């Protein structure tokens, strides 16, 4: 009986994926559903390698490729994501696949068709090569935005941005001087375009640069409370998992 795990931060999506897998191949047993990088690393370090991993790329606490820097993975992976910028066709070999959300049953069936225990070694060699290519590929991050504002177009360079925020499903940026502009990006899209050395996502609603962090207060249950510059009206409470990642990011 093949054992599999699902790395996915949306519980409804994870549950739907598990249901589809069972409908296609009832012999595959899902032994864990993991919502974050931290939880995934902890599970992989303390359990035998699963026969298969379903992995979302954008998780609540960062890009899932960070997992490969923290733990050695000896399992084939089927990537699942809402984005298509990670060389989709490269994964279309030897039972390793790259599925775009919402995942269709037919596509998942094709991805699982060739999967078997005997194929793991061959699949992993191909996966390691592909991951190495992706990680070595030079990433070009966004340098500026050209923002429609009233009757004008305003160029804003990234170094002028203090933080990005979300309200009513709209994404905005705040400059260090306190100016606010809305951009035609989701928070996930904005995060993917930013240099992770310069910006970090502290909650679902905020992506901040170092200079925007005014004060950091310890909070109960291992969480942190952040004061931003320029300030915001609402309290910003960082989850325990993201607090650990934030401390690592600040301590580089």
Shared domain check, 182 and 108: no
The reply to whether 170 and 240 lie within a common domain is yes
CATH number for the domain spanning 217: value is: 2.40.50.1020
Give the end of a domain, one of 104, 136, 168. 136
Same domain for 129 and 170, yes or no, is: no
One domain, residues 86 and 162: no
What average pLDDT does this structure show over 15-19?
A: 96
Q: By the 8 A CB rule, do 33 and 57 touch?
A: no
Q: How confident is the model at residue 90 (pLDDT cuts 50, 70, 90)?
A: very low
Residue 122: the pLDDT is 56
Domain holding 24, by residue range, is 3-136
Q: What is the pLDDT of residues 189-240, one digit of tens each?
A: 999 899 999 999 999 999 999 999 999 999 998 899 999 999 999 899 999 9
> Is residue 92 scored above 60 in pLDDT?
no
Indicate whether 7 and 129 sit together in one domain: yes
Dig out the tokens for 208 from the structure. Answer: 């901040």
Instruction: Provide the pLDDT confidence category of residue 48 given band limits of 50, 70 and 90.
Output: very high
Domain boundary pick from 117, 136, 155 = 136
Query: Which of 69, 101, 136 represents a domain boundary (last residue)?
Result: 136
Domain count, the chain: 2
Q: Residue 154: is its pLDDT beyond 90?
A: yes
Burial class for 155, CB neighbours closer than 10 Å (0-12, 13-18, 19+): exposed
User: What CATH number corresponds to the domain at position 128?
Assistant: 3.40.50.2300
Judge if 102 and 210 occupy the same domain.
no
- Do 48 and 171 belong to one domain? no
Task: Inform me whether the pLDDT recorded for 148 exceeds 80.
Answer: yes
| Same domain flag for 108 and 164 | no
The mean pLDDT value for 102-113 works out to 88
The verdict on 11 and 132 lying in the same domain is: yes
Does the model's pTM come out above 0.85?
no
Q: How far is CA 220 from CA 31, 39, 233, in A?
A: 31, 20, 21
User: Looking at per-residue confidence, does 114 or 97 come out higher?
Assistant: 97
**Are residues 183 and 87 located together in one domain of the fold?**
no
CA 108 to chain centre: 21
Same domain, 169 and 112: no
The pLDDT of 89-113, averaged and rounded, is 73
């Amino acid at each position: 009986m093949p054992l599999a795990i699902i790395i996915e931060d949306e519980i409804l999506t994870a549950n739907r994926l598990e249901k589809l897998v069972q409908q296609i191949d009832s012999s595959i047993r899902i032994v864990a559903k993991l919502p974050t990088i931290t939880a995934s690393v902890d599970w992989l370090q303390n359990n035998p390698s699963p026969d298969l991993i379903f992995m979302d790329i954008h998780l609540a606490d960062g890009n899932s490729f960070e997992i490969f820097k923290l733990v050695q993975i000896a399992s084939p992976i089927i990537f699942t994501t809402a984005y298509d910028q990670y060389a989709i066709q490269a994964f279309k070999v030897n039972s390793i696949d790259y599925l775009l959300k919402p995942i269709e049953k037919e596509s998942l069936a094709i991805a699982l068709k060739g999967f078997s225990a005997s194929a793991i070694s061959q699949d992993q060699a191909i996966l390691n090569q592909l991951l190495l290519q992706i990680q070595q590929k030079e990433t070009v991050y966004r340098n500026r935005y050209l923002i429609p504002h009233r009757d004008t177009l305003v160029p804003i360079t990234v170094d002028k941005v203090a933080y990005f925020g979300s309200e009513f499903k709209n994404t905005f940026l705040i400059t260090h001087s306190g100016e606010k502009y809305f951009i035609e990006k989701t928070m996930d899209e904005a995060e993917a375009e930013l240099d992770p050395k310069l910006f970090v996502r502290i909650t679902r609603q905020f992506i901040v640069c170092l200079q925007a962090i005014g004060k950091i207060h310890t909070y109960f249950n291992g969480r942190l409370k952040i004061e931003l510059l320029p300030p915001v009206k609402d309290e910003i409470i960082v989850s325990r998992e993201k607090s650990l990642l934030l401390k690592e990011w600040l301590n580089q």
